[in-house]
Chains A and B, each alone.
Chain A
Amino acid sequence: MTRAQTDIDAEMAEAVDWLVRLQGETVTERDWLDFDAWLTASPAHAQAYDAVLTFDDRLDLDRRLAQAEPTAEPLRASAGKVVPLRPARRVWIWSAGAAIAAAFVAGAVLLPASGLLGAHETTYVTGVGERRTVALEDGSRIEMNAASRMTVRFERHARRVHLGDAQAFFDVARDSSRPFLVSAGDTQVRVVGTQFDVRHRDGQVAVNVQRGLVEVRPNLPRDAAPFRLRPGQALSHRKGQRADARVSTVAVEEVGGWRQGRLIYRDQPLSQIAGDMNRLFPRPVKLADADAANLRLSGVLIVDDQDAMVDRLSHLLPVRTTTTDDAILIRAR
């Protein structure tokens, strides 16, 4: 055993000891206090610890990547194993936050358009702070988020929904003779019967699947095979781009979290969060500078009162907020 093998500096060594201790099962309040004191003693300690944490994280990730290496088992056989974490129950519970948001609902504007060739087309619009559940004649339900616009058109061989700038959660009734088609910008989504969320905001399209199988064509060439998403998968795509679509995993129970008054973010910029809030409340949230706009948040924002939400944001991110009667200004600290 050569000395060189354990040749890391003393801070690193201490940091490793801390990490291992904290990963044990007998961590006590005393440990928390001691650890905090150690971190506070020197900025170098925190740095060393973060480096160790990163190293340990990557190790864990590599391990999982290696395990993910498929043993070429037949696809269809494994398909059944992809179970939602909790059975995908139908949740129509309205949390307190949602109830407040619902209080804003003044009823969506219905604009029945002239029926073309017998197919009837209806446009639904929700305003700022409004939300609406649309029950369609085939038994499907669409929950529209605030400040959204969509057109529904039923044809003999297809059920079509066009999403403008919108976010909506779809619970599609099964009807294999009439596929359900959603278009959002240059992206097409095709399903038979399933539950999923489509967000089309500011040229960005995101599809999140809670149940069933969803086919998505994010600006794909005609002959390309579509992406097939299963529960717990999400696809994001920027309008106009080609071959930029990325598939990621999401927790099934987080899909459509906005319906329960929870805005769930995974490393999203503050600009998006401000945009989401501006669809919920009439008083605009403004970002003072690019620094603020580019701050990123991972976590859950519960929708209740606007001031309370802004206050929580200011604790989650290094920002300072100024509230006036007609706007809330957020700047980076």
Chain B
Amino acid sequence: MIRLYGEKRANLVRVFAAKLRSACEAEDLIQDLYLKVQALGDVEVEGDGSALLFRMAHNLMLDRLRSQSRASARDEGWRSLQGEALGDQQVADMPSAEEVVAGRQRLNAMMTAVDALPPQVARAFKLHKLEGLSHADTAVAMGVSRSSVEKHVSAALKALMAKLP
């Protein structure tokens, strides 16, 4: 199992990073997984063990997501901290003013590109990526199926990747 973990580690991080939206959190989680795998010792597993490894990874990720009220609290804290950092000269730039400006410019460029998309595609993208709604909530808000949401978001991302540097 340890060997398999070694082989799959990079791919597991890729899945974690997609969902947790944080490289740090993904690294944290992969280490938790390592501890779990190590605790297993030399168990007999069916097949090559991938299924078991992925199930463990998946459950660990669900646990982490469940405690993400914590993470959104962190997001909130991050935001208010930043407000202070920017409002108070004494506290150094956490992202520098230039970074904020550059970020805003990129966001504006993106919004322009988004507005050029077909309305449904743009709406799904905004609700999911910008408002932070889940696929399911986006589907409800738009009155379409979840798989349509996925298609729209996919289409939007592809278009944006083609358009933006």
Q: Which residues of A contact B (CB under 8 A)?
A: 1, 4-8, 12-13, 16-17, 19-27, 29, 32-33, 35-36, 39-40, 46, 49-50, 52-53, 55-73, 75, 78-79, 81-83, 85, 225-230, 232-233, 235, 245-249, 251, 266, 298-300, 302, 312, 315-316
Q: Which residues of B contact A248 (CB under 8 A)?
A: 94
Tell whether, in the assembled complex, residue B15 and residue A35 are in contact, meaning their CB atoms are under 8 Å apart: yes
How many angstroms from the CA of A298 to the CA of B30 in the assembled complex?
11
Q: Which residues of B contact A19 (CB under 8 A)?
A: 18, 157
Which are the 10 A-B pairs with shortest beta-carbon distances? Answer: A65-B103, A32-B54, A68-B82, A22-B18, A70-B83, A247-B92, A62-B103, A298-B27, A62-B107, A24-B135
**Given the interface contacts A1-B118, A39-B11, A247-B94, does A82 sit within 8 Å of B77 by beta carbon?**
yes
Tell whether, in the assembled complex, residue A69 and residue B100 are in contact, meaning their CB atoms are under 8 Å apart: yes
Tell whether, in the assembled complex, residue A79 and residue B84 are in contact, meaning their CB atoms are under 8 Å apart: yes
How many angstroms from the CA of A33 to the CA of B53 in the assembled complex?
10
CB within 8 Å of A: which B9-43 residues? 10-11, 14-15, 17-19, 21, 23-24, 27-28, 30-31, 34-35, 38
Tell whether, in the assembled complex, residue A70 and residue B157 are in contact, meaning their CB atoms are under 8 Å apart: no
Q: Which residues of B contact A302 (CB under 8 A)?
A: 35
Tell whether, in the assembled complex, residue B83 and residue A62 are in contact, meaning their CB atoms are under 8 Å apart: no
Q: Which residues of A contact B82 (CB under 8 A)?
A: 68, 70
Tell whether, in the assembled complex, residue B15 and residue A85 are in contact, meaning their CB atoms are under 8 Å apart: no
Name 16 extra pairs, CB < 8 A, besides A22-B18, A66-B100.
A16-B161, A23-B18, A24-B135, A33-B50, A52-B161, A63-B107, A68-B82, A72-B87, A85-B70, A85-B77, A230-B84, A232-B81, A247-B93, A249-B81, A266-B24, A316-B34
B155 to chain A, nearest CB (A): 7
Q: Which residues of B contact A33 (CB under 8 A)?
A: 50-51, 54
Tell whether, in the assembled complex, residue B92 and residue A246 are in contact, meaning their CB atoms are under 8 Å apart: yes
Whose C-beta in chain B lies nearest to the C-beta of A56?
Answer: B157
Tell whether, in the assembled complex, residue A29 and residue B157 are in contact, meaning their CB atoms are under 8 Å apart: no
Of A35, A64, A79, the most chain B CB neighbours within 10 A belong to: A64
| Count of B interface residues, CB-CB < 8 Å | 76
Tell whether, in the assembled complex, residue B34 and residue A315 are in contact, meaning their CB atoms are under 8 Å apart: yes
Tell whether, in the assembled complex, residue A4 and residue B79 are in contact, meaning their CB atoms are under 8 Å apart: no
Q: Which residues of B contact A (CB under 8 A)?
A: 2, 5-6, 8, 10-11, 14-15, 17-19, 21, 23-24, 27-28, 30-31, 34-35, 38, 50-51, 54-55, 57-58, 70, 73-75, 77-95, 99-100, 103-104, 106-107, 110, 116, 118, 129-130, 134-136, 146, 150, 153-155, 157-163
How many angstroms from the CA of A27 to the CA of B21 in the assembled complex?
16
B55 to chain A, nearest CB (A): 6
Q: Which residues of B contact A65 (CB under 8 A)?
A: 95, 99-100, 103-104, 107
A12 to chain B, nearest CB (A): 7
Tell whether, in the assembled complex, residue B90 and residue A227 are in contact, meaning their CB atoms are under 8 Å apart: yes
Q: Which residues of B contact A53 (CB under 8 A)?
A: 14, 17-18
Tell whether, in the assembled complex, residue B81 and residue A66 are in contact, meaning their CB atoms are under 8 Å apart: no
Q: Which residues of A contact B6 (CB under 8 A)?
A: 315
How many angstroms from the CA of A247 to the CA of B84 in the assembled complex?
12
Q: Which residues of B contact A7 (CB under 8 A)?
A: 162
Q: Which of B2, B81, B110 contacts A315 (CB 8 A)?
A: B2
Q: Which residues of B contact A299 (CB under 8 A)?
A: 27-28, 30-31
Whose C-beta in chain B lies nearest to the C-beta of A13?
Answer: B158
**Given the interface contacts A29-B55, A58-B106, A227-B90, does A17 sit within 8 Å of B154 by beta carbon?**
yes
B133 to chain A, nearest CB (A): 11
Interface pairs (28), CB distance under 8 Å: A6-B159, A7-B162, A8-B158, A24-B150, A32-B15, A35-B14, A52-B157, A55-B161, A56-B21, A62-B110, A64-B75, A64-B79, A65-B95, A65-B103, A69-B104, A73-B87, A78-B83, A85-B74, A225-B89, A248-B94, A249-B78, A249-B81, A298-B23, A298-B24, A298-B27, A312-B34, A315-B2, A316-B34
Q: Which of A6, A36, A59, A312 contacts B54 (CB 8 A)?
A: A36
Tell whether, in the assembled complex, residue A249 and residue B84 are in contact, meaning their CB atoms are under 8 Å apart: no
**Given the interface contacts A8-B158, A53-B14, A228-B90, does A64 sit within 8 Å of B78 by beta carbon?**
yes
Tell whether, in the assembled complex, residue A247 and residue B85 are in contact, meaning their CB atoms are under 8 Å apart: yes
